[in-house]
Structure 1
Amino acid sequence: MQKLLQKRFIIGFLLLFILSLTLFVPFRTALVFYRENTSHVEAYLPIEEGDTFQVIYTHSIHLTDVVEIYEALPDHSIKQTELIYEHYGIGMPSDADEGGTIIYEDGKIHIKDMDRVFPFINLRNGKTVPRHRLVWGDDFSHMVWFKDFFEPGARFTIKVDKLSLWQLLKGVKIHE
């Protein structure tokens, strides 16, 4: 009887241990949108290291789209590789950093070959006219509006991170 109880205890403990590992050990790489200054996952987009994505917003003065192109690096940092906009002026660079090139094509200014690396991006969704968008995919064919996932004026931190099954279940998966 004693051995049966010990066996059940060990089996129960092992099952609980395996369940805990399955639920709480991070395994899935994602572009994660955390509520500002917290570890609360608001939303996530499953990605792989090396994937690229765009954040597009409407410039508040020029009222034209600004496209920021990023790449998820293996160390989970985020590299800005390109910036596209239509007008020089307030908030827009007039030259490229070292190694970058400025090209004028299709009526837009492209700063290419950028090498700006960030551990995270702090972002605020537009409050009055929320026009932020997230675009991803091999050919940038997938797009969602931030307003469909976040309140107008919401602040959040974007990171490339590994999420556990528990975090995946609690967060909102971004999809078209």
Structure 2
Amino acid sequence: MKFKTIIFVSIPLLLITLLFIPFKSALVFYKENTDELAAYLPIDAGDQFDIIFTHSIHLTDVVEKYHVTENLTIIQDEIIFESFGIGMPSTVEEGQTFEYKDGRYHLGNLNNVFESMKIRNGKTVSKHRLRWKNHMEEKMVWFNDYFEPGAWYTVKVDKLPLWSYLKGVKIDERSK
């Protein structure tokens, strides 16, 4: 009788734990300033990703390179761009690197730390992309495959419970 009671109590507790206790980290896109999950990309400490967008005035690509730290913050490492002007860096601070190669400017060693970032999917020039490596294969998706042009998101690395993984939109599920 005790064994049946233990099993009867243990199975629901195990299911609740598996479904609702955060266990796996992901780069999470929350709608605006809410906790409503719009999409996620499974990611771990040490992983790198890029956000690429076409500058709405210069109409050239800008690549922002990031990596995830052990405590699940995001560090911006580098910005690569083709034209100076509105919204582009114009100075190099102590410890940063700056070089021109292959027709592009590389501002590196940025070490900009973010707990979260606010990102708007372009509306005028809607060509935002997310790029990462998955098992040594480079992958890239267009924001427009997941997000409305002009909409904005809070992006951060969070640990998600299994329930969020099951009901959420995993980035790369719809990529071509």
Pairing 1:38–2:37 present = no
SS at 1:97 equivalent: coil
Paired residue for 2:153? 156
Structure 1 residue 147 displacement after superposition: 0.1
Corresponding residue for residue 117 of structure 1: 113
* Structure 1: gaps (5+ residues): none
* 1:73 aligned onto 2:92: no
Deviation at residue 127 of structure 1 after TM alignment: 1.7
Residues 1:146 and 2:146 aligned together: no
Give 3-state SS (helix, strand or coil) of 2:34's partner. Answer: coil
> Aligned-pair distance for 1:10?
4.0
Alignment of 1:1-176 (within 5 A): 4=1, 8-137=4-133, 141-175=138-172, 176=175
> 2:40·2:171 contact (CA, 8 Å) conserved in 1?
yes
Matched-pair contact (CA < 8 Å) for 1:41–1:170: no
Question: How large is the Cα RMSD of the aligned pairs?
Answer: 1.6
Spell out structure 1 runs of 4+ moving beyond 6 A.
none
Q: How many residues align?
A: 172
Of structures 1 and 2, the larger Rg is shown by 1
Structure 2 gap segments, 5+ residues each: none
* Paired residue secondary structure (2:85): coil
* Post-superposition offset of 1:162: 0.7
Partner SS, residue 114 of structure 1: coil
Q: TM-score, normalising length from structure 1?
A: 0.92
CA distance in 2, matches of 1:58, 1:89: 14
Aligned with 2:86: secondary structure?
coil
Corresponding letter in the other structure for 1:160: V
CA displacement, residues 50-85 of structure 1 (integer Å, 9 cap, x when unaligned): 111000001111010000000011111100000000
State the 1:8 CA deviation.
Answer: 4.3
Instruction: Tell me, in whole angstroms, the C-alpha distance in 2 between the residues paired with 1:89 and 1:165.
Output: 44
How far apart are 1:140 and its partner, in Å? 7.3
Residue 95 of structure 1 contacts residue 102 of structure 1 at CA under 8 Å; is this kept in 2? no
